[in-house]
Amino acid sequence: MNSLFINIQPIYLIYFFYGAAFLIMAASIAAKDMKGSELMLAKSLRLLGLFGLSHGFHEWMQLYPLIEGDHLSLRAIYISKLAALIVFIVSYLFLLWFGLTLINGVSEKRVWRIARTVPVLLAVVWVLHVWYTGFTMDMQFLRQASIATRHTFGLFGSLLTAYGLTAYSREVGYLSRTAARNLAYAGASFGFYGFVAGVVSSGFTLFRFPIPVEVLRGAAGILITYFIIKALNIFDVEMRKKIELQTRRIVQAEKLTSLGQLAAGIAHEINNPLANASLGIQTLKRRISGDRMDGSVLDKLELVERNIDRAAGIARELLQFSRQQEVDVMPVHVNAVLRGTLTLLEYKLKGVSVRQDLHPVPSVMGDAGKLEQVFINVLSNAVEAMPQGGSMSIATSVEGSFVQVRVDDSGSGIPEELLSRVFDPFFTTKDVGAGTGLGLAICYGIVKQHHGTIELRSTAGKGTTVIIRLPRREDDEKDIDRG
Ligand code: ADP
Ligand code: MG
Protein backbone atom coordinates (compact mmCIF):
# COMPACT_ATOMS: atom_id res chain seq x y z
CA MET A 1 0.00 0.00 0.00
CA ASN A 2 2.83 2.32 0.93
CA SER A 3 4.55 1.80 -2.39
CA LEU A 4 1.69 3.57 -4.15
CA PHE A 5 2.77 6.84 -2.62
CA ILE A 6 6.48 6.20 -2.67
CA ASN A 7 6.92 4.97 -6.21
CA ILE A 8 4.33 6.91 -8.08
CA GLN A 9 5.54 9.76 -10.22
CA PRO A 10 3.26 12.69 -10.94
CA ILE A 11 2.88 11.58 -14.57
CA TYR A 12 1.28 8.35 -13.45
CA LEU A 13 -1.47 10.27 -11.75
CA ILE A 14 -2.37 11.31 -15.26
CA TYR A 15 -2.85 7.67 -16.20
CA PHE A 16 -5.10 7.34 -13.21
CA PHE A 17 -7.31 10.31 -14.09
CA TYR A 18 -7.26 9.54 -17.78
CA GLY A 19 -8.46 6.02 -17.03
CA ALA A 20 -11.02 7.32 -14.57
CA ALA A 21 -12.45 9.75 -17.14
CA PHE A 22 -13.15 6.94 -19.60
CA LEU A 23 -14.57 4.71 -16.91
CA ILE A 24 -16.90 7.50 -15.83
CA MET A 25 -18.05 7.89 -19.42
CA ALA A 26 -18.73 4.15 -19.60
CA ALA A 27 -20.67 4.26 -16.33
CA SER A 28 -22.74 7.24 -17.47
CA ILE A 29 -23.66 5.51 -20.71
CA ALA A 30 -24.53 2.32 -18.87
CA ALA A 31 -26.70 4.23 -16.40
CA LYS A 32 -28.64 6.12 -19.06
CA ASP A 33 -32.13 4.87 -19.74
CA MET A 34 -32.41 4.63 -23.52
CA LYS A 35 -35.29 2.21 -23.70
CA GLY A 36 -37.91 3.41 -26.10
CA SER A 37 -35.51 5.68 -27.92
CA GLU A 38 -35.75 5.63 -31.68
CA LEU A 39 -32.42 7.36 -32.13
CA MET A 40 -29.77 5.40 -33.94
CA LEU A 41 -27.32 6.60 -31.30
CA ALA A 42 -29.17 4.63 -28.62
CA LYS A 43 -28.08 1.37 -30.19
CA SER A 44 -24.51 2.24 -31.06
CA LEU A 45 -23.68 4.09 -27.85
CA ARG A 46 -23.14 0.80 -26.06
CA LEU A 47 -20.01 0.36 -28.21
CA LEU A 48 -18.67 3.68 -27.01
CA GLY A 49 -19.38 2.54 -23.46
CA LEU A 50 -17.39 -0.63 -24.08
CA PHE A 51 -14.56 1.45 -25.48
CA GLY A 52 -14.62 3.63 -22.35
CA LEU A 53 -14.67 0.63 -20.06
CA SER A 54 -11.84 -1.26 -21.75
CA HIS A 55 -9.74 1.80 -22.45
CA GLY A 56 -10.05 3.15 -18.91
CA PHE A 57 -9.24 -0.28 -17.58
CA HIS A 58 -6.20 -0.41 -19.85
CA GLU A 59 -4.86 2.83 -18.40
CA TRP A 60 -5.19 1.43 -14.91
CA MET A 61 -3.55 -1.83 -15.96
CA GLN A 62 -0.57 0.20 -17.07
CA LEU A 63 -0.23 1.58 -13.57
CA TYR A 64 0.17 -1.86 -12.10
CA PRO A 65 3.77 -2.66 -13.18
CA LEU A 66 4.69 0.95 -12.54
CA ILE A 67 3.57 0.82 -8.96
CA GLU A 68 4.42 -2.78 -8.12
CA GLY A 69 7.39 -3.08 -10.46
CA ASP A 70 9.95 -3.58 -7.71
CA HIS A 71 8.22 -6.67 -6.37
CA LEU A 72 7.46 -8.35 -9.68
CA SER A 73 9.46 -10.79 -11.72
CA LEU A 74 10.27 -9.81 -15.28
CA ARG A 75 7.93 -12.52 -16.45
CA ALA A 76 5.05 -11.14 -14.39
CA ILE A 77 5.70 -7.68 -15.76
CA TYR A 78 5.75 -9.06 -19.29
CA ILE A 79 2.47 -10.86 -18.79
CA SER A 80 0.79 -7.84 -17.26
CA LYS A 81 1.98 -5.71 -20.17
CA LEU A 82 0.83 -8.26 -22.72
CA ALA A 83 -2.59 -8.36 -21.07
CA ALA A 84 -2.72 -4.56 -21.14
CA LEU A 85 -1.82 -4.60 -24.85
CA ILE A 86 -4.66 -6.98 -25.64
CA VAL A 87 -7.15 -4.84 -23.73
CA PHE A 88 -5.71 -1.80 -25.53
CA ILE A 89 -6.32 -3.34 -28.96
CA VAL A 90 -9.81 -4.50 -27.99
CA SER A 91 -10.70 -1.01 -26.74
CA TYR A 92 -9.75 0.61 -30.04
CA LEU A 93 -11.66 -2.06 -31.97
CA PHE A 94 -14.77 -1.03 -30.02
CA LEU A 95 -14.11 2.59 -30.90
CA LEU A 96 -13.61 1.74 -34.56
CA TRP A 97 -16.83 -0.25 -34.55
CA PHE A 98 -18.68 2.62 -32.91
CA GLY A 99 -17.40 5.09 -35.51
CA LEU A 100 -18.38 2.74 -38.31
CA THR A 101 -21.96 2.24 -37.05
CA LEU A 102 -22.39 6.01 -36.89
CA ILE A 103 -21.07 6.46 -40.40
CA ASN A 104 -23.24 3.65 -41.69
CA GLY A 105 -26.26 5.36 -40.14
CA VAL A 106 -25.72 8.87 -41.41
CA SER A 107 -23.55 8.89 -44.49
CA GLU A 108 -24.13 8.46 -48.13
CA LYS A 109 -23.40 5.03 -49.53
CA ARG A 110 -20.18 6.29 -51.08
CA VAL A 111 -18.65 7.36 -47.77
CA TRP A 112 -19.79 4.15 -46.12
CA ARG A 113 -18.26 2.01 -48.85
CA ILE A 114 -14.89 3.63 -48.25
CA ALA A 115 -15.23 3.59 -44.45
CA ARG A 116 -16.07 -0.08 -44.14
CA THR A 117 -12.87 -1.15 -45.87
CA VAL A 118 -10.84 0.69 -43.22
CA PRO A 119 -10.68 -2.15 -40.63
CA VAL A 120 -9.23 -4.59 -43.16
CA LEU A 121 -6.62 -2.09 -44.29
CA LEU A 122 -5.74 -1.29 -40.70
CA ALA A 123 -5.31 -4.95 -39.82
CA VAL A 124 -2.92 -5.35 -42.77
CA VAL A 125 -0.93 -2.25 -41.81
CA TRP A 126 -0.81 -3.39 -38.18
CA VAL A 127 0.61 -6.81 -39.12
CA LEU A 128 3.19 -5.23 -41.46
CA HIS A 129 4.10 -2.68 -38.82
CA VAL A 130 4.74 -5.37 -36.21
CA TRP A 131 6.40 -7.68 -38.70
CA TYR A 132 8.82 -4.98 -39.67
CA THR A 133 10.13 -4.68 -36.13
CA GLY A 134 10.71 -8.42 -35.84
CA PHE A 135 8.56 -10.94 -34.08
CA THR A 136 10.54 -11.56 -30.91
CA MET A 137 8.23 -11.83 -27.95
CA ASP A 138 10.11 -9.37 -25.77
CA MET A 139 9.39 -6.00 -24.21
CA GLN A 140 10.54 -4.23 -27.33
CA PHE A 141 7.91 -6.14 -29.29
CA LEU A 142 5.19 -5.08 -26.85
CA ARG A 143 6.24 -1.48 -27.26
CA GLN A 144 6.24 -1.73 -31.06
CA ALA A 145 2.88 -3.48 -31.11
CA SER A 146 1.42 -0.79 -28.92
CA ILE A 147 2.75 1.92 -31.25
CA ALA A 148 1.38 0.03 -34.25
CA THR A 149 -1.99 -0.12 -32.52
CA ARG A 150 -1.99 3.63 -31.90
CA HIS A 151 -1.10 4.42 -35.50
CA THR A 152 -3.76 2.15 -36.94
CA PHE A 153 -6.81 1.31 -34.83
CA GLY A 154 -6.29 4.18 -32.40
CA LEU A 155 -5.90 6.89 -34.99
CA PHE A 156 -8.60 5.70 -37.38
CA GLY A 157 -11.01 4.66 -34.65
CA SER A 158 -10.81 8.20 -33.28
CA LEU A 159 -11.02 9.88 -36.67
CA LEU A 160 -13.99 7.82 -37.87
CA THR A 161 -15.72 8.47 -34.56
CA ALA A 162 -14.93 12.18 -34.83
CA TYR A 163 -16.44 12.25 -38.32
CA GLY A 164 -19.40 10.06 -37.33
CA LEU A 165 -20.32 12.16 -34.30
CA THR A 166 -20.05 15.40 -36.24
CA ALA A 167 -22.19 14.09 -39.09
CA TYR A 168 -24.69 12.59 -36.68
CA SER A 169 -24.96 15.79 -34.67
CA ARG A 170 -26.48 17.44 -37.73
CA GLU A 171 -29.23 14.81 -37.84
CA VAL A 172 -30.43 15.42 -34.31
CA GLY A 173 -30.33 19.21 -34.37
CA TYR A 174 -34.11 19.27 -34.73
CA LEU A 175 -34.47 17.57 -31.32
CA SER A 176 -32.08 19.63 -29.29
CA ARG A 177 -29.53 22.08 -30.56
CA THR A 178 -27.59 21.95 -27.31
CA ALA A 179 -27.27 18.18 -27.39
CA ALA A 180 -26.31 18.31 -31.06
CA ARG A 181 -23.65 20.88 -30.26
CA ASN A 182 -22.26 18.71 -27.47
CA LEU A 183 -22.10 15.74 -29.83
CA ALA A 184 -20.18 17.86 -32.32
CA TYR A 185 -17.80 18.98 -29.56
CA ALA A 186 -17.33 15.37 -28.49
CA GLY A 187 -16.50 14.67 -32.14
CA ALA A 188 -13.93 17.46 -32.16
CA SER A 189 -12.46 16.13 -28.91
CA PHE A 190 -12.12 12.73 -30.55
CA GLY A 191 -10.27 14.41 -33.43
CA PHE A 192 -7.86 15.96 -30.93
CA TYR A 193 -7.60 12.65 -29.09
CA GLY A 194 -6.86 10.85 -32.36
CA PHE A 195 -3.90 13.15 -32.88
CA VAL A 196 -2.39 12.92 -29.40
CA ALA A 197 -3.13 9.23 -28.87
CA GLY A 198 -2.79 7.97 -32.43
CA VAL A 199 0.02 10.00 -33.97
CA VAL A 200 2.29 10.98 -31.13
CA SER A 201 4.01 8.15 -29.28
CA SER A 202 4.03 7.82 -25.51
CA GLY A 203 6.86 9.52 -23.65
CA PHE A 204 7.14 12.40 -26.12
CA THR A 205 6.54 16.03 -25.50
CA LEU A 206 4.69 17.89 -28.17
CA PHE A 207 6.51 20.55 -30.16
CA ARG A 208 8.34 22.78 -27.78
CA PHE A 209 5.77 22.66 -25.06
CA PRO A 210 7.08 21.12 -21.91
CA ILE A 211 3.84 19.15 -21.69
CA PRO A 212 4.14 15.37 -21.91
CA VAL A 213 1.73 13.91 -24.44
CA GLU A 214 0.07 11.85 -21.69
CA VAL A 215 -1.23 15.06 -20.17
CA LEU A 216 -2.80 16.03 -23.49
CA ARG A 217 -4.33 12.57 -23.86
CA GLY A 218 -5.75 12.88 -20.38
CA ALA A 219 -7.18 16.29 -21.27
CA ALA A 220 -8.73 14.88 -24.46
CA GLY A 221 -10.22 12.00 -22.47
CA ILE A 222 -11.77 14.39 -19.97
CA LEU A 223 -13.16 16.59 -22.76
CA ILE A 224 -14.68 13.59 -24.54
CA THR A 225 -16.27 12.34 -21.34
CA TYR A 226 -17.58 15.78 -20.46
CA PHE A 227 -19.26 16.36 -23.83
CA ILE A 228 -20.60 12.83 -24.17
CA ILE A 229 -22.21 13.01 -20.74
CA LYS A 230 -23.78 16.36 -21.62
CA ALA A 231 -24.98 15.00 -24.94
CA LEU A 232 -26.72 12.08 -23.24
CA ASN A 233 -29.38 14.62 -22.37
CA ILE A 234 -30.70 14.12 -25.88
CA PHE A 235 -32.57 11.01 -24.78
CA ASP A 236 -34.50 12.99 -22.18
CA VAL A 237 -35.34 15.62 -24.76
CA GLU A 238 -36.46 12.92 -27.17
CA MET A 239 -38.73 11.38 -24.56
CA ARG A 240 -40.22 14.74 -23.62
CA LYS A 241 -40.88 15.62 -27.25
CA LYS A 242 -42.46 12.24 -27.82
CA ILE A 243 -44.90 12.77 -24.98
CA GLU A 244 -45.65 16.30 -26.19
CA LEU A 245 -46.25 15.01 -29.70
CA GLN A 246 -48.57 12.31 -28.46
CA THR A 247 -50.57 14.78 -26.43
CA ARG A 248 -50.72 17.12 -29.39
CA ARG A 249 -51.89 14.27 -31.62
CA ILE A 250 -54.71 13.36 -29.29
CA VAL A 251 -55.82 16.96 -28.92
CA GLN A 252 -55.55 17.39 -32.67
CA ALA A 253 -57.53 14.27 -33.42
CA GLU A 254 -60.33 15.39 -31.12
CA LYS A 255 -60.30 18.90 -32.47
CA LEU A 256 -60.36 17.74 -36.06
CA THR A 257 -63.12 15.23 -35.44
CA SER A 258 -65.44 17.86 -34.01
CA LEU A 259 -64.40 20.41 -36.61
CA GLY A 260 -64.91 17.77 -39.27
CA GLN A 261 -68.49 17.18 -38.20
CA LEU A 262 -69.16 20.89 -38.11
CA ALA A 263 -67.55 21.34 -41.51
CA ALA A 264 -69.53 18.51 -43.04
CA GLY A 265 -72.76 20.04 -41.70
CA ILE A 266 -71.94 23.47 -43.10
CA ALA A 267 -70.82 22.09 -46.43
CA HIS A 268 -74.07 20.19 -46.85
CA GLU A 269 -76.14 23.21 -45.93
CA ILE A 270 -74.23 25.43 -48.32
CA ASN A 271 -74.14 22.98 -51.18
CA ASN A 272 -77.88 22.95 -51.74
CA PRO A 273 -78.41 26.71 -52.06
CA LEU A 274 -75.29 26.91 -54.22
CA ALA A 275 -76.62 24.24 -56.53
CA ASN A 276 -79.93 26.13 -56.80
CA ALA A 277 -78.17 29.41 -57.47
CA SER A 278 -76.03 27.75 -60.11
CA LEU A 279 -79.08 26.34 -61.81
CA GLY A 280 -80.75 29.76 -61.75
CA ILE A 281 -77.72 31.33 -63.41
CA GLN A 282 -77.68 28.69 -66.14
CA THR A 283 -81.32 29.41 -66.91
CA LEU A 284 -80.74 33.16 -66.93
CA LYS A 285 -77.74 32.84 -69.21
CA ARG A 286 -79.71 30.78 -71.69
CA ARG A 287 -82.53 33.31 -71.73
CA ILE A 288 -80.25 36.28 -72.09
CA SER A 289 -78.23 34.85 -74.90
CA GLY A 290 -81.53 34.00 -76.61
CA ASP A 291 -82.61 37.66 -76.27
CA ARG A 292 -79.28 38.89 -77.61
CA MET A 293 -79.03 41.38 -74.81
CA ASP A 294 -76.17 43.49 -73.67
CA GLY A 295 -72.83 41.57 -73.40
CA SER A 296 -71.95 43.24 -70.12
CA VAL A 297 -74.89 41.57 -68.38
CA LEU A 298 -73.60 38.23 -69.60
CA ASP A 299 -70.14 39.10 -68.23
CA LYS A 300 -71.64 39.90 -64.87
CA LEU A 301 -73.53 36.65 -64.84
CA GLU A 302 -70.38 34.75 -65.61
CA LEU A 303 -68.61 36.50 -62.76
CA VAL A 304 -71.40 35.41 -60.42
CA GLU A 305 -71.11 31.89 -61.79
CA ARG A 306 -67.36 31.77 -61.22
CA ASN A 307 -67.83 32.87 -57.64
CA ILE A 308 -70.48 30.27 -57.06
CA ASP A 309 -68.09 27.67 -58.47
CA ARG A 310 -65.39 28.81 -56.11
CA ALA A 311 -67.72 28.58 -53.13
CA ALA A 312 -68.84 25.14 -54.29
CA GLY A 313 -65.19 24.13 -54.62
CA ILE A 314 -64.52 25.08 -51.02
CA ALA A 315 -67.63 23.23 -49.87
CA ARG A 316 -66.42 20.17 -51.78
CA GLU A 317 -63.00 20.33 -50.15
CA LEU A 318 -64.63 20.72 -46.76
CA LEU A 319 -66.64 17.59 -47.37
CA GLN A 320 -63.54 15.76 -48.41
CA PHE A 321 -61.77 16.76 -45.23
CA SER A 322 -64.60 15.58 -43.03
CA ARG A 323 -65.80 12.57 -44.91
CA GLN A 324 -65.36 9.43 -42.89
CA GLN A 325 -66.34 7.03 -45.65
CA GLU A 326 -64.17 4.00 -46.31
CA VAL A 327 -61.47 4.43 -48.88
CA ASP A 328 -61.24 2.09 -51.87
CA VAL A 329 -58.26 0.06 -50.83
CA MET A 330 -55.99 -1.97 -53.02
CA PRO A 331 -52.25 -2.49 -53.15
CA VAL A 332 -50.59 0.78 -54.04
CA HIS A 333 -46.98 1.44 -54.91
CA VAL A 334 -46.06 4.65 -53.19
CA ASN A 335 -43.04 5.34 -55.42
CA ALA A 336 -45.21 5.12 -58.51
CA VAL A 337 -47.78 7.51 -57.06
CA LEU A 338 -44.99 9.93 -56.14
CA ARG A 339 -43.54 9.82 -59.62
CA GLY A 340 -47.00 10.44 -61.07
CA THR A 341 -47.49 13.40 -58.75
CA LEU A 342 -44.15 14.88 -59.77
CA THR A 343 -45.10 14.68 -63.43
CA LEU A 344 -48.41 16.31 -62.65
CA LEU A 345 -46.72 19.15 -60.80
CA GLU A 346 -43.91 19.63 -63.29
CA TYR A 347 -45.12 23.07 -64.28
CA LYS A 348 -45.03 24.21 -60.66
CA LEU A 349 -41.56 22.91 -59.99
CA LYS A 350 -39.65 25.36 -62.15
CA GLY A 351 -36.89 27.06 -60.18
CA VAL A 352 -36.91 24.29 -57.59
CA SER A 353 -34.23 21.62 -57.65
CA VAL A 354 -35.86 18.30 -56.84
CA ARG A 355 -33.92 15.36 -55.49
CA GLN A 356 -35.57 11.95 -55.57
CA ASP A 357 -34.46 9.20 -53.21
CA LEU A 358 -37.10 6.61 -53.94
CA HIS A 359 -35.87 3.40 -52.37
CA PRO A 360 -37.43 -0.01 -52.97
CA VAL A 361 -40.38 -0.16 -50.58
CA PRO A 362 -43.24 -2.62 -50.13
CA SER A 363 -46.67 -1.59 -51.32
CA VAL A 364 -49.34 -0.23 -48.99
CA MET A 365 -53.08 -0.86 -48.91
CA GLY A 366 -54.72 2.33 -50.00
CA ASP A 367 -56.47 4.52 -52.49
CA ALA A 368 -53.95 5.73 -55.08
CA GLY A 369 -56.10 8.72 -56.02
CA LYS A 370 -56.37 9.92 -52.45
CA LEU A 371 -52.72 9.37 -51.74
CA GLU A 372 -51.91 11.38 -54.83
CA GLN A 373 -54.02 14.17 -53.40
CA VAL A 374 -51.96 14.05 -50.21
CA PHE A 375 -48.70 14.27 -52.15
CA ILE A 376 -50.01 17.08 -54.36
CA ASN A 377 -50.89 19.09 -51.27
CA VAL A 378 -47.63 18.46 -49.48
CA LEU A 379 -45.46 19.12 -52.53
CA SER A 380 -47.45 22.22 -53.44
CA ASN A 381 -46.95 23.58 -49.93
CA ALA A 382 -43.22 22.96 -50.24
CA VAL A 383 -43.08 24.79 -53.57
CA GLU A 384 -45.22 27.64 -52.29
CA ALA A 385 -42.84 28.04 -49.35
CA MET A 386 -40.00 28.69 -51.82
CA PRO A 387 -41.20 31.55 -54.02
CA GLN A 388 -37.58 32.50 -54.66
CA GLY A 389 -36.73 28.92 -55.63
CA GLY A 390 -34.83 26.43 -53.53
CA SER A 391 -34.36 22.73 -53.14
CA MET A 392 -36.67 19.92 -52.22
CA SER A 393 -35.98 16.26 -51.57
CA ILE A 394 -38.44 13.40 -51.69
CA ALA A 395 -37.39 10.14 -50.09
CA THR A 396 -39.10 6.83 -49.42
CA SER A 397 -37.89 4.22 -46.97
CA VAL A 398 -39.09 1.38 -44.79
CA GLU A 399 -39.37 2.21 -41.10
CA GLY A 400 -40.38 -0.86 -39.16
CA SER A 401 -43.87 -1.82 -40.29
CA PHE A 402 -44.35 1.45 -42.14
CA VAL A 403 -43.50 2.83 -45.53
CA GLN A 404 -42.23 6.34 -44.98
CA VAL A 405 -42.37 9.27 -47.36
CA ARG A 406 -40.24 12.20 -46.35
CA VAL A 407 -40.39 15.56 -48.07
CA ASP A 408 -37.80 18.19 -47.19
CA ASP A 409 -37.86 21.73 -48.50
CA SER A 410 -35.52 24.67 -48.02
CA GLY A 411 -38.39 27.13 -47.82
CA SER A 412 -39.61 29.68 -45.31
CA GLY A 413 -40.39 27.18 -42.58
CA ILE A 414 -43.10 27.59 -39.97
CA PRO A 415 -42.65 29.45 -36.69
CA GLU A 416 -42.84 27.13 -33.69
CA GLU A 417 -45.99 28.73 -32.31
CA LEU A 418 -47.93 28.10 -35.52
CA LEU A 419 -46.78 24.52 -35.98
CA SER A 420 -49.62 23.08 -33.94
CA ARG A 421 -52.21 24.80 -36.13
CA VAL A 422 -51.16 23.78 -39.63
CA PHE A 423 -53.59 20.85 -39.74
CA ASP A 424 -56.53 23.01 -38.70
CA PRO A 425 -59.02 23.56 -41.48
CA PHE A 426 -58.85 27.14 -42.78
CA PHE A 427 -55.54 27.80 -41.10
CA THR A 428 -53.44 29.53 -43.74
CA THR A 429 -50.68 32.10 -43.80
CA LYS A 430 -51.23 32.71 -47.50
CA ASP A 431 -53.03 35.63 -49.09
CA VAL A 432 -56.77 35.52 -49.60
CA GLY A 433 -57.39 33.51 -52.73
CA ALA A 434 -53.94 31.92 -52.66
CA GLY A 435 -54.66 29.36 -49.98
CA THR A 436 -57.80 27.92 -48.43
CA GLY A 437 -56.02 26.37 -45.47
CA LEU A 438 -57.69 23.06 -46.23
CA GLY A 439 -54.76 21.23 -47.84
CA LEU A 440 -53.15 19.76 -44.75
CA ALA A 441 -56.49 19.17 -43.06
CA ILE A 442 -57.46 17.01 -46.03
CA CYS A 443 -54.09 15.26 -45.95
CA TYR A 444 -54.56 14.52 -42.28
CA GLY A 445 -57.98 12.99 -42.92
CA ILE A 446 -56.77 10.84 -45.80
CA VAL A 447 -53.65 9.60 -44.01
CA LYS A 448 -55.74 8.77 -40.96
CA GLN A 449 -58.12 6.76 -43.11
CA HIS A 450 -55.08 4.80 -44.26
CA HIS A 451 -54.16 4.14 -40.60
CA GLY A 452 -51.00 6.16 -41.09
CA THR A 453 -49.50 9.26 -39.56
CA ILE A 454 -48.44 12.65 -40.92
CA GLU A 455 -46.09 14.91 -39.07
CA LEU A 456 -44.48 18.30 -39.76
CA ARG A 457 -41.12 19.41 -38.44
CA SER A 458 -39.91 22.86 -39.21
CA THR A 459 -37.39 25.51 -38.37
CA ALA A 460 -38.47 29.00 -39.33
CA GLY A 461 -36.17 30.39 -42.00
CA LYS A 462 -34.56 27.05 -42.73
CA GLY A 463 -37.17 24.73 -44.11
CA THR A 464 -39.75 22.12 -43.40
CA THR A 465 -39.87 18.35 -43.27
CA VAL A 466 -43.09 16.43 -43.76
CA ILE A 467 -43.07 12.79 -42.73
CA ILE A 468 -45.88 10.52 -43.84
CA ARG A 469 -46.00 6.94 -42.66
CA LEU A 470 -48.34 4.35 -44.11
CA PRO A 471 -48.61 0.76 -42.87
CA ARG A 472 -46.86 -1.62 -45.24
CA ARG A 473 -48.73 -4.62 -46.59
CA GLU A 474 -48.02 -7.56 -44.36
CA ASP A 475 -48.17 -10.41 -46.87
CA ASP A 476 -45.89 -8.51 -49.12
CA GLU A 477 -42.28 -9.52 -48.97
CA LYS A 478 -41.92 -9.93 -52.70
CA ASP A 479 -44.12 -7.18 -54.02
CA ILE A 480 -41.48 -4.52 -53.74
CA ASP A 481 -41.48 -1.48 -55.94
CA ARG A 482 -37.86 -0.97 -56.86
CA GLY A 483 -37.30 2.78 -57.09
P1 ADP B 1 -52.71 26.41 -47.58
O2 ADP B 1 -51.60 25.83 -48.36
O3 ADP B 1 -53.96 26.58 -48.39
O4 ADP B 1 -52.33 27.64 -46.83
P5 ADP B 1 -52.43 24.07 -45.98
O6 ADP B 1 -53.35 23.37 -45.03
O7 ADP B 1 -51.89 23.29 -47.10
O8 ADP B 1 -53.16 25.35 -46.47
O9 ADP B 1 -51.22 24.65 -45.14
C10 ADP B 1 -51.49 25.43 -43.99
C11 ADP B 1 -50.34 26.35 -43.66
O12 ADP B 1 -49.23 25.58 -43.21
C13 ADP B 1 -49.80 27.14 -44.83
O14 ADP B 1 -50.50 28.33 -45.03
C15 ADP B 1 -48.37 27.44 -44.39
O16 ADP B 1 -48.34 28.51 -43.51
C17 ADP B 1 -48.03 26.22 -43.57
N18 ADP B 1 -47.23 25.27 -44.35
C19 ADP B 1 -47.60 24.06 -44.82
N20 ADP B 1 -46.59 23.42 -45.46
C21 ADP B 1 -45.53 24.27 -45.41
C22 ADP B 1 -44.17 24.22 -45.89
N23 ADP B 1 -43.69 23.17 -46.57
N24 ADP B 1 -43.36 25.28 -45.62
C25 ADP B 1 -43.82 26.33 -44.93
N26 ADP B 1 -45.07 26.45 -44.46
C27 ADP B 1 -45.93 25.45 -44.69
MG1 MG C 1 -51.62 23.91 -49.20
Q: Going by CA atoms, what residue is nearest to atom 7 of ligand 1?
A: 439
- 274 C-alpha to center of ligand 1: Å? 28
Residues 6 or more apart in contact with residue 58 via CB below 8 angstroms: 19, 84, 87, 88, 91
Residue 381 Cβ < 6 Å to ligand 1: yes
Closest by alpha carbon to 54, among 44, 62, 65, 66? 62
Per-residue pLDDT in tens (0 to 9) along the chain, 483 residues = 445 555 557 777 888 888 999 999 999 999 999 988 989 999 999 999 999 999 999 999 988 887 777 788 888 888 888 999 999 999 999 999 999 999 998 887 888 888 889 889 999 988 888 887 766 677 788 888 888 899 999 999 999 999 999 999 998 988 889 999 999 999 999 999 999 998 887 766 666 667 788 888 899 999 999 999 999 999 999 999 888 888 877 777 777 777 777 777 888 888 889 999 999 998 888 887 766 666 778 888 889 999 998 888 888 877 776 665 566 789 999 999 999 999 989 888 988 999 999 999 999 999 998 899 899 999 999 999 999 999 999 999 999 899 999 999 999 999 989 998 899 888 999 987 777 888 898 898 889 889 999 999 998 899 999 999 999 987 655 556 655
Query: Which pLDDT tens digit goes with each residue over 166-193?
Result: 999 998 988 889 999 999 999 999 999 9
Please report the atom of ligand 1 found closest to the CA of residue 463: 24
| Residue 464 Cβ contacting ligand 1 at under 6 Å | yes
Q: Which ligand is nearest to the CA of 437?
A: 1
Residue 269: closest CA among 230, 229, 318: 318
Regarding the beta carbon of 409 and ligand 1, being less than 6 Å apart is answered yes
380 Cα–ligand 2 center, Å? 6
Residue nearest to atom 13 of ligand 1 (CA): 428
Report DSSP letters for 38-93, one per residue: --HHHHHHHHHHHHHHHHHHHHHHHHHHHHHGGGS-HHHHHHHHHHHHHHHHHHHH
Each residue of 399-423: pLDDT tens digit? 989 999 999 999 999 998 999 889 9
Question: How many CA atoms does the CB half-sphere of 271 hold within 13 Å?
Answer: 13
Please give the distance, rounded to the nearest whole angstrom, from the Cα atom of residue 335 to the centre of ligand 2: 21
Looking at ligand 1, which atom is closest to the CA of residue 423?
A: 6
Atom of ligand 1 nearest to the CA of 412: 25
114 closest CA partner among 162, 158, 156, 155: 156
- Asked if residue 429 has its Cβ within 6 Å of ligand 1, the reply is yes
Beta carbons within 10 angstroms of residue 347's beta carbon: 6
- Residue 436 in contact with ligand 1 by CB distance below 6 A: yes
* Distance in angstroms (rounded) separating the CA atoms of residues 165 and 185: 9
Q: pLDDT for 227-261, tens place per residue? A: 999 999 999 999 998 888 888 777 777 777 777 77
Decide: 173 in ligand 1 pocket, CB within 6 A. no
Enclosing H/E stretch for 314 = helix 295-322
Q: Could you tell me the distance, in angstroms and rounded to a whole number, from the CA of residue 254 to the centre of ligand 1?
A: 21
Mutate to test the pocket of ligand 1, among 354, 424, 428 (most ligand atoms within 8 A of CB): 428
User: Residue 68: which residues within 8 A CB-CB, separation 6 or more?
Assistant: 3
- Closest by Cα among 419, 422, 415 to 462: 415
Q: How far is the CA of 428 from the centre of ligand 1 (A)?
A: 6
Helices of type H across 138-208: 139-149, 155-171, 177-198
Give yes or no for residue 435 CB within 6 A of ligand 1.
yes
Q: Which atom of ligand 1 is nearest to the CA of 427?
A: 10
Distance CA 159, CA 240 (A): 32
Ligand 1 within 6 A of 411 CB? yes
Which ligand is in closest contact with the Cα of 441? 1
